[in-house]
Amino acid sequence: MTYRSILRSIATVLCTTSLLAASHAQPYPSRPIRIVVGYTAGGGADTTARVYAEKLQTILNTPVIVENKPGAFEQLAAQTVLSAPPDGHTLWLGTAGALTIGPGVRSDIPYDILKSFTHIAKVGEVEAVLSVKNALPVNSLADFISYAKANPNKLFYGSAGVGSGGHLLTEYIMNVTDIKLTHVPFKGDVEVVRELAAGTIDFGVPISAQAVPFVNDRRIKAIAVTGTQRLKTLPNVPTAGDGVEALKSVGIYSIYGLLGPAGMPTSTTQTLSDALNKAAQMPEVIQRLETANVKATTSTPAGLQEYLGTEVAKWRELGKKLRINFN
């Protein structure tokens, strides 16, 4: 090999290396972003994802697509993201059912929520409404507990299925207040509020987005709300803790958090977190989410991870006490 050919070979290698480095160092995002949601279109999670997707599209200057993959307690959505490259272009908007409650109380969750994903930001909070059918002779949470104690196992409560937030919260209320209700699982909170309005079940804790319209139309009665503050949409309804001292530990009902596959670059994670926080503070986003009974929130990636760790530990402890059978 001549000296000139050696130089030519070295130049070719350097050029190829530079091109490869440039391809790996493409600015994020380099193609459309996909946000996967584990629920059908039109629900609270879907609405939240679409509100943020619209703003992210402008902030990040790239198309942002919401893809619905309902089923299996959000596990279809989670698995989609777990199998995606950790480049920040496939994300999961999860709810507390799959992010904290499920990992805390179920043994069949095929992922470790604290290790299998990259945590980006907590983008919303959702409360639930402790509701009863109109014919039930109670007007407060304290009334309901007294009535339930006098009628053990005679009252029926509905939830969005075994292991759902409504199921577990009601089991927790039963455990703390020493009442006994009979569980009737449905496919979602929409059915719970409809059955409450029809009078076929006595109690339920549907999310506020589903419950508030029925309460305002006087088709069901609201006796309390979750969280530490009254809802703007139901200002006359006290929190569970205000109604019953033993239930002051009932905190936020559910959250919406954005996650990606484990191993995402720190710079990509921070870019997404900053964009979400910017969107969450926009008056239009706040208003649109309030209309859907969702509170826009901001957080850091570390803040979301810490929150999930605390909540999973809490639900794991509760799961041991409640001894709920998921079979």
State pLDDT tens for residues 237-276.
999 999 898 898 888 899 999 999 999 999 999 999 999 9
Query: Is the CB of residue 207 less than 8 Å from the CB of residue 221?
Result: no
Inform me whether the pLDDT recorded for 6 exceeds 90.
no
Percent of the chain with pLDDT over 70: 91
Q: What is the separation, in whole angstroms, between the first and last Cα of the chain? A: 72
The span from the CA of 134 to the CA of 203, in Å, is: 10
Inform me whether the pLDDT recorded for 15 exceeds 90.
no
* pLDDT tier, 100 (very low <50, low <70, confident <90, very high otherwise): very high
Average pLDDT for 6-24 = 45
Q: Is the dihedral of CA 104, 107, 110, 114 positive or negative?
A: positive
Domains and CATH numbers, the chain: 33-125+253-322 (3.40.190.150), 129-247 (3.40.190.10)
Return the pLDDT at 8.
53
Instruction: Tell me which residue of 139, 192, 144, 136 sits closest to 164, measured CA to CA.
Output: 192
Inform me whether the pLDDT recorded for 324 exceeds 90.
no
Return the pLDDT at 57.
97
**Tokens 């009078």 sit on residue:** 199
Average pLDDT for 79-88 = 97
Q: What is the CA radius of gyration of the chain?
A: 23
Cβ neighbours for 37, distance < 8 A, ≥ 6 positions apart: 45, 46, 49, 66, 67, 68, 69, 77, 92, 93
Return the pLDDT at 321.
76
Instruction: Kindly report, residue by residue over 35-74, the tens digit of the pLDDT.
Output: 999 988 888 899 999 999 999 999 999 999 999 998 888 9
Inform me whether the pLDDT recorded for 25 exceeds 90.
no
Q: Please indicate whether residue 206 or residue 107 has the higher confidence score (pLDDT).
A: 206
- Tokens representing residue 213 in the block: 């319209």
| DSSP element (H, E) containing 17 | helix 3-24
Give the pairing type, strands 203-204 and 129-133.
antiparallel
Return the pLDDT at 99.
95
Instruction: Kindly report, residue by residue over 158-172, the tens digit of the pLDDT.
Output: 998 877 889 889 998
Return the pLDDT at 65.
98
Give the pairing type, strands 90-95 and 254-261.
antiparallel
Return the pLDDT at 19.
39
Quote the DSSP letter at residue 128: B
Average pLDDT, the chain: 90
CA 228 to chain centre: 18
Residues in the chain: 327
SS3 content of the chain, % helix, strand, coil (to 5): 45, 20, 35
| DSSP element (H, E) containing 216 | helix 208-216
| DSSP element (H, E) containing 220 | strand 220-225
Tell me the β-bridge partners of 156.
182
Instruction: Kindly report, residue by residue over 180-194, the tens digit of the pLDDT.
Output: 999 999 888 889 999
Return the pLDDT at 16.
44
How much is the pTM?
Answer: 0.82
